[in-house]
Amino acid sequence: MNRKYPMPAFAALILIVCTLPVAAGPERSVSIDAQFGIADTGIIVDIPVGPVELSPGLNYPAGLALMGQVLGVYEHLPFINEPGPVFTLDVTYPFDIGERFTLKTGASVWIMTDYLFTSMMGTAGFVIRPEYLFSGSNWGLFYNLRLPVVHYGYPSLSGNFFNEFDPMLPVVMGFLTSAFGVLYRF
């Protein structure tokens, strides 16, 4: 590995990252979203960065906790027994379909931890997010449809980090990790 030019490459990377928000057009603005789903109920912030939007989120698995309490499975599943925060990150590219309708597609990462942060599980895959803004208002509605491709976590039965693919994953985990919500665009 050639380490002859690490500093200029690092400086170019910093320069590109710092100028990306300037490349975002004036029609894009930051929005704050509240989403409601089975495994992720919480807040998301949409930040335009150049032609894409970053959407980090902090959530709580309220639906899973309620189902665990109703079904009595608390003692068997650590993520439902003592659920911790759920972190999401979507990187999407917006397509303006109409004056008030935007379709965003991209990549998504969803991570659920337990209360003590001793274990985690998550999914990675695609996201499709239609947004509708009300006429003459900054308020709108959206739906986050996540289509996971890979499931990962720590610890597995062997105590190691695991990563696996399952053909039923987009159906089952996609249903659990998808959410609808409201947004306010500044």
For the cut 90, the answer to whether the pLDDT of residue 32 exceeds it is yes
Between residues 180 and 172, the one the model is more confident about: 180
Residue 179 pairs in a beta bridge with 37, 144
Let me know if 167 is exposed, middle or buried by CB neighbors in 10 A (0-12, 13-18, 19+).
exposed
Q: Is residue 6, in this structure, part of any structural domain at all? A: no
- 52 confidence band (pLDDT: 50, 70, 90): very high
Q: Is residue 160, in this structure, part of any structural domain at all? A: yes
Q: Is residue 16, in this structure, part of any structural domain at all? A: no
For the cut 70, the answer to whether the pLDDT of residue 49 exceeds it is yes
pLDDT digits (tens, 9 = 90+) for 110-165: 988 877 767 788 888 999 999 999 998 899 999 999 988 888 877 655 566 666 66
> Is 114 within 8 Å of 79 (Cβ atoms)?
yes
For the cut 60, the answer to whether the pLDDT of residue 33 exceeds it is yes
Tell me how many domains the chain contains.
1
Between residues 105 and 66, the one the model is more confident about: 105
> Is 124 within 8 Å of 109 (Cβ atoms)?
yes
Q: Is residue 5, in this structure, part of any structural domain at all? A: no
Residue that the structure tokens 């057009």 belong to: 25
Q: Domain with 174 in it: what CATH number? A: 2.40.160
- Six token digits for residue 55: 């959407």
Q: Is residue 154, in this structure, part of any structural domain at all? A: yes
pLDDT at 19: 55
pLDDT mean over 97-103: 91
Mean pLDDT computed over every residue of the chain: 80
- 179 confidence band (pLDDT: 50, 70, 90): very high
Let me know if 75 is exposed, middle or buried by CB neighbors in 10 A (0-12, 13-18, 19+).
exposed
pTM of the predicted model as reported, rounded to 2 decimal places: 0.76
Q: Is residue 20, in this structure, part of any structural domain at all? A: no
